[in-house]
Structure 1
Amino acid sequence: MHLTFFGSSLVSSYWNGAATYYRGLIRALHGLGHTVTFCEPDAYDRQQNRDLAEDPEYARVIVYTTEAERDALIEQAFAESDWVIKCSGVGLWDAELEAAVADRAGGDVMTAFLDVDAPATLSRIAEDAADPFRLHIRKYDQIFTYGGGPPVCAEYERWGAKACTPIYNALDPDEHRPVEDVAVEYDILFMGNRLPDREARVEEFFFRAAALCPEHRFLLGGEGWGWKTDMPANVTYLGHVPTSRHNTVNASARLVLNIHRESMVQNGWSPATRMFEAAGAASCQVTDAWEGIEDFFAPGEEILVAASAEEVAQLVRSVDDARARQIGRAGRARALADHTYTQRARQMDAILRAAPVEAA
């Protein structure tokens, strides 16, 4: 089958946390025999901060800059594709793309909406009676989400979705792996961009935890934190970390902290991309508490869970190198067994092939 995606970016992770997810899933879909076109706008300086110098071999990437180019790509997609998939959070002309794909549903080409932030999307339309996406949902042949579990699917079905299936974040074993001979210089690492609905949780779980144990070294990566002038003295700030450096940076810390966005915590069943990246690197992970974590990793054995800054600080003080290695290895084994992008792609592939699609 030929699949066309409209998403934020496949070639750049700059202000684009979904890049790892897109790469892992689309690479695995390509491995199952699909051909893929990925259409992305030239926005937010992503093309000037590419992680992939060359377009990947598993997808044709088309960058568009104008409304005319956007509209031409929509027409091209429906002329050559079996499925056209609009992703959430493209960042430019989202409403126009959502409407264009939904309005063309019902023909020979199947349509899907891939929601990479479903709790936020559902919260948005619940609060805004005039949001046009409310009426688009029932037109799509399939809603995919990369998180949210049963609560998100039930809510999408309440809005009239024909079908809703979570295709969760996962591990790409070829990309996310342990790195040898890297000195462990830090006690705990957090990587994540500064976002409004996560900032308060980062203040609690990272910055306040750092202040509680000033004798330990904290490492911070991600865009936007350079504007913060009151970081504790024991925090080292890296700025944006390209995906090519994630494995090495993970290896430089004894513990890796995951802090989820507020809407994801309230909903549950929303493991971040970083969780599987760190598992692939065999890092000992600490995650903020949220419902459904046990469906992905066993707390206390494959991952550590903290409900406050005090609990993060206690883990920083108490988890020694030997226990960290043990938990990291167990988390990697679980991810390899149950959470690879090949497994996620097979789940999605079964849905794509089950639909009554005529060859394009």
Structure 2
Amino acid sequence: MKLVVLGLSLSSSWGNGHATTFRALLRFFAARGHEVLFLERDVPWYRDNRDLPSPDFCRLRFYDALADLDGFRPDIEGADAVLVGSYVPDGIAVAERVWRWARGVVAFYDIDTPVTLAALRRGDCTYLSRDTIAGFDLYLSFTAGPTLGVLEREWGARAARGFYCSVDPERYAPAGTGPRWDLGYLGTWSADRQPTVERLLIEPARRAPHRRFVVAGPQYPADISWPANVERIEHLPPEEHASFYSGCRWTLNVTRADMIRAGWSPSVRLFEAGACGSAIVSDRWDGIEDVLTPGEEIVLADSAEDVLAVLDWPEERRAALGRAARERVLAAHTASHRAERLEALLLGAAERPGSASRSPSRPAPESGG
């Protein structure tokens, strides 16, 4: 299969979780014998922070402006499938170009589904519209559960399928080093996550000055009052993630507000920490039990008191929880699992009689140069 992906970023993990998600998925998809071309808009904030400029599992090409996609028209025309990602600059116009040229399946991969739907309802989504949704043969959604029905009934998606993020088990595994911190959090700052970080990490740090905490990630405002026992790491490249998680006795998982409301929206960080065997304490949302079993593979917390209680767990109990999470992740949530599912979904979409690629509602590919 020849697959063309137009995504937010593959080359840079700075300030986004898309890069690590695409890297794991496409690496294992290519390992199944497929050919992958990734097209990335060349923007300054990623250009200046590239940690994977030349992947060995796919071709990575950059384009400066929308019109530059014309140079990749032969690749899109010749692809068995084209996958357009969320948050792609000028995403609506990108999709329209893809539809004019593609002869194979055209799918949308939404790594931000609840955020996307909230923006659509407000009327300010810059990369997707109602008409755009209806044009895709397949809508791969970061969020499963009831949201899939909403996408089909209310927004006209032809085939909405749950497609969680995943982890590369060869890159995320226990590092074998002793713990440096009692509780750590890895994530870019966002206004809607910060209250949870305050409640479940900063407040426990204030109440337990003898314990060590860490927050890694960019874009945190300078006016945040960090307790003295909270270490700050501005940016942590993916190759250091496993060491970070292995250095945390507990890892905090924090979910964006839109994703809590939707449920069934596990962050890629959840799978990464689990694969590294770090015990995870998380905020609470519907559907988490379908990913990791509360009390056995993950602990849910609502307050600073809940977090302080788990920090007092005996080491044997904590380690057992971390091992159980790792076993579950390796059994169900690796990039190998997702790559196999992606292959099946794309092949299934190609065989569906009503697919948009054979529908008169999509413009036929243009001929000529």
Note whether the superposition's TM-score is higher than 0.5: yes
Q: Cα distance, 1:349 vs. partner? A: 0.8
Against the structure 1 CA distance between its residues 44 and 309, is the aligned structure 2 distance closer, same or farther, given a 3 Å change threshold?
A: farther
Q: How does 1:186-335 map to 2 (within 5 A)?
A: 186-225=181-220, 227-316=222-311, 318-335=312-329
Per mean C-alpha deviation after superposition, the further-off stretch among 196-205 and 26-35 is: 196-205
SS of match in other structure, 1:150: coil
Letter matched to residue 95 of structure 1: I
Gaps of 5+ in 2: 352-356, 358-369
SS of match in other structure, 2:346: helix
Per mean C-alpha deviation after superposition, the further-off stretch among 159-168 and 203-212 is: 203-212
Q: Cα distance, 1:347 vs. partner? A: 1.3
Q: How does 1:1-360 map to 2 (within 5 A)?
A: 1-52=1-52, 54-73=53-72, 75-90=73-88, 92-101=89-98, 103-104=99-100, 108-128=103-123, 133-146=129-142, 148-158=143-153, 159-180=155-176, 182-225=177-220, 227-316=222-311, 318-356=312-350
On the 8 A contact 1:212/1:310 being kept in 2, the answer is no
Aligned residues: 351
C-alpha separation between the residues in 1 aligned to 2:191 and 2:125? 23
Q: Cα distance, 1:174 vs. partner? A: 0.6
Provide, for residues 19-38 of structure 1, a one-character-per-residue CA deviation record: whole Å limited to 9, x for no partner: 11111111111122211100
Letter matched to residue 196 of structure 2: R
Percent identity between matched residues is: 34
Letter matched to residue 36 of structure 2: V
Letter matched to residue 355 of structure 1: A
Q: TM-score with structure 2 length normalisation?
A: 0.89
C-alpha separation between the residues in 2 aligned to 1:250 and 1:312? 17
SS of match in other structure, 2:62: strand
Letter matched to residue 86 of structure 1: V
SS of match in other structure, 1:197: coil
Against the structure 1 CA distance between its residues 353 and 328, is the aligned structure 2 distance closer, same or farther, given a 3 Å change threshold?
A: same
Q: Cα distance, 1:99 vs. partner? A: 3.5
Against the structure 1 CA distance between its residues 129 and 10, is the aligned structure 2 distance closer, same or farther, given a 3 Å change threshold?
A: closer
Q: CA RMSD in A?
A: 2.1
On the 8 A contact 1:82/1:110 being kept in 2, the answer is yes
On the 8 A contact 1:122/1:155 being kept in 2, the answer is no
On the 8 A contact 2:138/2:349 being kept in 1, the answer is no
SS of match in other structure, 1:196: coil
C-alpha separation between the residues in 2 aligned to 1:130 and 1:271? 22
Gaps of 5+ in 1: none
SS of match in other structure, 1:33: coil
Q: TM-score with structure 1 length normalisation?
A: 0.92
C-alpha separation between the residues in 2 aligned to 1:211 and 1:70? 51
